[in-house]
Amino acid sequence: MVVCLTGKRFAFRHQLAYTLCIALCLLGKLMYRNRNSTLKTSRGRMASLLAALYDSARTTFTTADAARITGLTAPLASSLLHKARKRGLVTQIKRGLFVIVPAELGSSTEYFGNPYLVARYLADDTPYFLSHATAMELHRMVTQPQFVIFVSSTKRILRQTLHGTQFRFILIKPKRFFGHTKHWVTKQESVEISDLERTVLDGLRHPELCGGIADVAKGLWMRHTDISVSKLLDYAKRLRVGSVYRRLGYLLELFVLATDAELQFLRKALTATYAPLDPSLPSEGPHLAKWRLQLNVPAEELLAIRST
C-alpha cells in the first residue's frame, strides 16, 4: 500500500514538473514574440520618422518634432530616439535636439550636422540672423575659416559650446532687426543671415567680432562691386551709431567707393568726440579731425588690402 502511494506521488510530481516546463516554454515564446514585435514596431516607427523628416527636408529636429510626427507621447518619443542613438541613426546635439546621421557615415556617434542649422534651432522662435564673422564667411568676405558661430537675436541667449563649436548670441533691439536675407546652406534647408550691407555695418560697429577693422575693410573691398553704398548709408541712418558713421566714412573715402555728397552725409552726422578706428587695439596713433577718428591702424596697411 505504501509503495502504491509513493508511485502515485512520484507520477504527480513528474506530471507537475512537465506541465510547469511546458508553461515556461510557452511563456518564453510569448515574451520573445512580444519583444520581437515591439522591436519591429520600434524600428518601423523610426523608419517612418526618418522618412517624414527627409520628405520635409529636415535633418535637424527636436523631440517635440518626433512626437508630433510619430503620434507618440514625449516620453515614448524620447525612448525611441534613445534607441536610435544606440543604433547610430541619430546624434544628440543637446538635450531635446538631434540630427540624422547620413547613411554613408555608418553608425557614427560624432556627427554634428550643419552648425548653421544648429544655430537656427538654438535661436528657437526668436527672430535671428547669422551675423558678424559668420556672415562674412558665408558672404565670402574672409579667407580664413571661422570657429565661432555668431548669431544676432532680439532675445538674450547664453553662449553655448556644442561638440566643440561655440555659438555666441548678440542681443539687438527689435527696431534694429533689419537687413537680413535667406541663405541656403543645403539644397533643402536655409538660414537667415545679415545681407552684405548689414554685415559691413555690424563689422564696423564691433570689429572685434570680425577679426578686427583690417578684416572688415578687407571684406568690404572683396565684395565692393556687389555692395550698394546707398543701402549702406540708409542702414547707417537707421542704426544711428556714431562709431559706424566715422569708420564707414573713412573707409569709403580711403577706398574711393563713395561720392562727395555721400561722404558729406556721413560727416554731418558726426559729433565732436573721437573714436578709435579699431577698438580692440591700443589707443595710439594720429587723430583725423575730418572723421573724428584715432587712426590706430595705419592707412597704408588698409590700402595694401586692395592689392591682395
283-304 residue pLDDT tens: 999 999 999 999 999 999 999 9
β pairing state of 90-94 and 97-100? antiparallel
Q: Which three cell numbers stand for residue 215?
A: 578684416
* Side-chain half-sphere CA neighbours of 72 within 13 A: 20
Amino acid at 78: S
Better-predicted residue by pLDDT, 37 or 52: 52
Mean pLDDT, rounded, for 213-222:
97
Full-model pTM? 0.77
Q: If pLDDT is split at 50, 70 and 90, which confidence band does 202 have?
A: very high
Going from N- to C-terminal start, the domains of the chain cover 40-113
Q: What three-state secondary structure class fits 293?
A: strand
Q: Distance between CA atoms of 153 and 157, rounded to whole angstroms? A: 8
Q: Which residue has the cell 518601423?
A: 44
- Kindly report the CATH number that applies to the domain delimited by 40-113: 1.10.10.10
* 217 grid coordinates: 575693410
Determine the residue type at 299: A
Query: Grid coordinates standing for 39?
Result: 522591436
Indicate if the pLDDT at residue 170 is higher than 90: yes
- Higher-confidence residue of 143 and 241: namely 241
Q: CA distances (Å), 163 to each of 119, 122, 130, 150, in order?
A: 13, 14, 19, 16
Q: Is the pLDDT of residue 308 over 90?
A: no
The larger pLDDT score, comparing residue 58 to residue 207, is at: 207
Residues 13-23 have pLDDT tens digits of 555 444 444 44
How confident is the model at residue 95, as a pLDDT? 87
* Cβ(209)–Cβ(170) below 8 Å: yes
Q: What integer is the mean pLDDT of 57-81?
A: 88
Give one word for 157, left, alpha or beta, with left for phi > 0 and alpha for psi -120 to 50: beta
pLDDT of residue 7: 52
